[in-house]
Amino acid sequence: MTDNQKDPVIVGSGDTQFEAYDDWAKLPNGFEFKEGVGVACDSHDRVYVFSRSENPVMVFERDGTFVSSWGDGDTFVRPHSIYVAPDDSVWCADDHGHVVHKFTPDGQLLMTLGERGVASDTGVEGMDFRTMKQAAGPFNLPTHPHVTVDGDVWVSDGYGNAQIHKFSSDGKLLLSFGEPGTGEGQFGVPHGVMVSSEGLVYVSDRENSRIQRFDQDGKFVDMWTDVARPCLTVEGKDGLIYVAEVGWRVGMYHGQAVPDNPPPARVSVFTKKSELVARWGGENPPDVGSFWAAHGISIDSHGDLYVSEVRPGLYELKKPQGNEAPTDIPVLQKFVRI
């Protein structure tokens, strides 16, 4: 090894190990991510990064080569999450716009779910889910879209609502379920939704620190609780479930209770029987392989994992020593399967 080469950073455990990279994406001069709210891979293993920057959607080849960008101007009020469907259409949740958009891979708008700027009546005050009076229809600050191989569109309606919605491929609302609360089938910020290969609906019930699973009629099946404020789940070709957990550093609500020794941001990998097989994360951000606030996650056909992060903002918990939050958090990391 030469003097300017770094030792590889290996994360995970057992048969589920990765080499971590924080300098994978080759940004053009003048481009920046600011906050990497979402990341998604298409059928060609191109990587779409959704960020709160002047270039909201940036597209890269698998080796990090920059391809294109789109979505600038007033396309989005506030980017939140991105998903690439099996047909390679690109779906973006605009939480403050109260809409979900469908685009071509090069950014041409095909369809919009919801009405821009119009929030459904949940009675929520700002973005504080604890003030919600009732659940309502689409949308009030939607958080994540997911599209199945059959073309059904699932949306977690999370920051200002407590519902999961299912739409047909042409945008017809087929089903809504959920309500505010902590019981089975109730949600405290349903932040992400995913339909697994066996047809179960996984909901990342973030502020209840659990993943709830449902059948496709919205009937509760079970819940997983060994997670720390999960944001999103993805399924790999290996059949494992990968979870981005934001932990307890950011996104706090005023007066919200915090557990003793709260876990930091991390990625956890489970079998579909909820058995933990690997976990790594944020003890020492901005170190490679650690996280400040893991928010988006995607996996490509090679089994490589991409994790995007939101950066320190207004709601951090201060470290016990009172140190300020670091400013050089990597917004996007790639984890190459070993």
The model's pLDDT over 35-91, given as tens digits with 9 standing for 90+, comes to 999 999 999 999 999 999 999 999 999 999 999 999 999 999 999 999 999 999 999
325 vs 220, higher pLDDT:
220
pLDDT, the chain, mean:
93
| Domains of the chain and any CATH numbers | 9-316+323-337 (2.120.10.30)
Q: Name the nearest CA neighbour of 51 among 330, 337, 336.
A: 330
Share of the chain above pLDDT 70, in %: 94
pLDDT, mean of residues 147-170: 98
The model's pLDDT over 25-46, given as tens digits with 9 standing for 90+, comes to 999 999 999 899 999 999 999 9
Q: Compute the distance between CA of residue 218 and CA of residue 195 in angstroms, rounded to an integer.
A: 12
Q: Compute the distance between CA of residue 146 and CA of residue 164 in angstroms, rounded to an integer.
A: 11
Is residue 322's pLDDT more than 80? Answer: no
The model's pLDDT over 259-278, given as tens digits with 9 standing for 90+, comes to 888 899 999 999 999 999 99
Share of the chain above pLDDT 90, in %: 85
| pLDDT at res. 289 | 96
Secondary structure (DSSP) of 308-338:
EEPPP-S-PPPPTT-PPPPS---SEEEEEE-
Strand partners, 157: 163
Confidence category of residue 313, pLDDT binned at 50, 70, 90: low
pTM of the model: 0.95
HSE, CB side, 13 Å, CA atoms: give it for residue 268. Answer: 24
Q: Which residues of 286-321 are buried (b: 16+ CB within 10 A; e: fewer)?
A: eebbbbbbbbbbbbbeebbbbbbbbbbeeebeeeee
| pLDDT at res. 315 | 53
326 vs 162, higher pLDDT:
162
Backbone angle region of 14, left / alpha / beta, with phi > 0 → left and psi within -120 to 50 → alpha: left
Confidence category of residue 257, pLDDT binned at 50, 70, 90: confident
Backbone angles phi, psi at 266, to 5 degrees: -165, 170
Confidence category of residue 324, pLDDT binned at 50, 70, 90: low
| The residue type at 83 | Y
Confidence category of residue 4, pLDDT binned at 50, 70, 90: low
The residues near 328 (Cβ < 8 Å, ≥ 6 apart) are: 286
Sign of the alpha-carbon dihedral angle for 116, 146, 86, 46: positive
Backbone angles phi, psi at 72, to 5 degrees: -75, -175
The DSSP call for residue 63 is T
| pLDDT at res. 7 | 85
Helices vs. strands in the chain: H and E counts, helices first: 0, 27
Confidence category of residue 243, pLDDT binned at 50, 70, 90: very high
Q: Compute the distance between CA of residue 127 and CA of residue 256 in angstroms, rounded to an integer.
A: 14
pLDDT, mean of residues 102-119: 98
Confidence category of residue 316, pLDDT binned at 50, 70, 90: low
Backbone angles phi, psi at 118, to 5 degrees: -115, 115
The C-alpha R_g of the chain, in whole angstroms, comes to 19
Is residue 254's pLDDT more than 90? Answer: no
| pLDDT at res. 128 | 95
Q: Compute the distance between CA of residue 291 and CA of residue 281 in angstroms, rounded to an integer.
A: 6
The residues near 229 (Cβ < 8 Å, ≥ 6 apart) are: 206, 207, 209, 245, 246, 247, 248, 251
Confidence category of residue 1, pLDDT binned at 50, 70, 90: very low
